[in-house]
Structure 1
C-alpha cells in the first residue's frame, strides 16, 4: 500500500484539514500518515475556539520518523500557520522527498480577492519556494495570483465575467508552471463565474502546456473544508495512477454530491456531509476506471 505524509492541522468541529484527509485518503487505498501542525477545538470559522500550536513538534516528527526509517510515496502539505512553521515544512520535504516522491502543495493564503489574517509577505515568499518544488499545486484564484505576482484586485475587476476570469487564471497558471523546477501541473480551483443568468464554479487544469476546464453549478453557500476534500482526493488518486483531469472531475463530482447530501439548514461551518459518499468514492478504484 502506498503511503502519504499529510501536513495539516486537526480540528474538532468543522470537517476540514486532517479530519477529512484521513478518511478520504484511506478509502482510496492509500495510507494517510498525519503530521499535525496544530490542534483546534473547532475550525477557525467558529467564533469560539482554542488551539495548541505544534510547530515545535515538527522537528520531533522529522527526527523520530528518520530514526524509524520512514519513507513516503507522496507528501501533501496544506494549511501552514506562519513563517517559522513553513520553514520546518520545507525542511521536512527536503528530508523525506526522494526522486520519485509525489508532492502536492495546497497553498492556503486567501480567497475572494483578499488575504487571510495570518498572511504575511514572508509567508508568501516561502510558499513560492514550496510550490515551485511541487508536482501539483491546488491554489484558488486568489492564491494563484498572489504566487504569480498578479494583483489580486484584478479578480474583482473581472466582475464574475467568465472569459476575463478564465484568462486571468490561465495567465497565473502559466506563470506558476514556468517558475516551477518540476514538470508541474497547476490546478486552480473554485473560479466563480457568471454565464448569462447562471453562475458556475470552474476548475482550471494546466498540464503539459494544455489547459482544460471543468465546471459545476454554483450554490449560494460556502462550506468549510471543501478545498481540503478536493486536495485529498487528488493526492490519493494520483498515487493510484489516475490522470490529473479525471481526478479533478471525480473530486468535483464528489464535493457536489456531498453538498447535495447536506441538509439545507446545516451550519456551513460544520462542513459537508461527505461521509455518505465515501463508498461511491471507493468504487472509483474497484471499477478500475482510473486506467
Structure 2
C-alpha cells in the first residue's frame, strides 16, 4: 500500500508551487498526496495581482471527514498559511492525526531574501514558532530560520565567507534540535568561491551532527523551489529514505530544472521547468 502524506498548503493555479508542486513530486516518488487547501489562488502571490479565496473555514470539514473515514497518514507536511486564524485549524488537525507513527514536516513560509512576506505579523511568528516546536522535520530558508531564532539576517548573510556563516548557524541550529526536532534543513544559503562562482547550499543538522550541501546557483530565485524541495523530503522520509541520501539527489533535480528554465527564459514567477526531470526523484536513485 502506498504511503500517504497530508499536505496542508495553498493551491495556486499558476506559479508551479505549493500543492501543484507537492502532488506531482509525491506522486513521482510513489507516495499518495492528500491535499488540504489553505487557500485557492488564481496565481501565486509573486504575480502583480491574483484572486485568493481563504479556505480557513472549510478546513475542519476535511479533518472531520477524514476522521470519519478512519484515515491515517505516514506524514503531515504544512506550508503556506493565510494568516493567524488558520493556525488553529492546523493545530486541530495535528491533535487529530499527528502521532508517534506520523511525522510532521513544517515549511515555515514567512519570507525570503531577508524580507518578510506581506502576511507576516508578530502574532503569525509566535504561532509559527509553536507549530515548528511540534515538527520532526523543519525546512526554513535562511530568512525564516533567522525569524524563528531571532537572529539578525544581515549578520548571517553579510558574513565574509561561507565558513563564517556556518560558524554562526551551526551552534544555534544544534541547540534548536535539542527537543522534538530530528532534522533541521536550512535552505538557500548563498556563497561564492575564489573564482567568483555562485553557489546555493543547504545546511542539515540532526542532533549534534551537521553537514553542508552546496550546489551551483542557477539564475535568480524561482517560485516553488522550496515547495519542490520540502515535498521531496516528505516523500522520501515517508518511504524510509534517509535525509542524508535525499538532499544530494534533490539538489541535482533542482539544478537540472533551473538550468532548463534559464535555457527557455522562463519568468521567475512561473516557477521552474521541473516536470521533465521528475524521473530524477524515482526511488531507484536513493537505493
Do they fold alike, i.e. is TM over 0.5? yes
Which structure has the higher relative contact order (CA within 8 Å, separation 6+)? 2
- 1:42 is paired with a residue whose SS is coil
Could you say which residue in structure 1 is the equivalent of 2:166?
Answer: 166
CA displacement at 1:156 relative to structure 2? 4.3
Matched ranges for 1:152-163 at <5 A: 152-158=153-159, 161-163=161-163
Contact 1:17 1:225 in 2 (8 A): yes
Contact 2:249 2:280 in 1 (8 A): no
TM-score by structure 1 length? 0.93
Aligned residues: 284
Correspondence 1:1-291 to 2 at 5 A = 1-158=2-159, 161-178=161-178, 180=179, 182-196=180-194, 197-262=196-261, 263-282=263-282, 285=283, 287=284, 289-291=285-287
Question: What is the CA-CA distance between 1:75 and the residue it aligns to?
Answer: 0.3
After TM superposition, the runs of 4+ consecutive aligned structure 1 residues lying more than 4 A away are none
Deviation, 1:210, is 0.6
Distance between the aligned counterparts of 1:227 and 1:56, measured in 2? 27
Gaps of at least 5 residues in structure 2 are none
Over the aligned positions, Cα root-mean-square deviation in angstroms equals: 1.4
Deviates more, 1:145-154 or 1:112-121: 145-154
Distance 1:206 1:89 in 2: 26
Tell me how far apart the structure 2 counterparts of residues 249 and 233 of structure 1 sit (CA, whole Å).
11
Tell me by how many angstroms 1:290 deviates. Answer: 3.2
SS at structure 1 position matched to 2:214: strand
**Equivalent pair of 1:5/1:72 in contact (CA under 8 Å):** yes
Q: Deviations over 1:227-282 (max 9, x none)?
A: 00000000001111111121111111110011122234211111111110112322
User: 3-state SS of the aligned residue for 1:32?
Assistant: strand
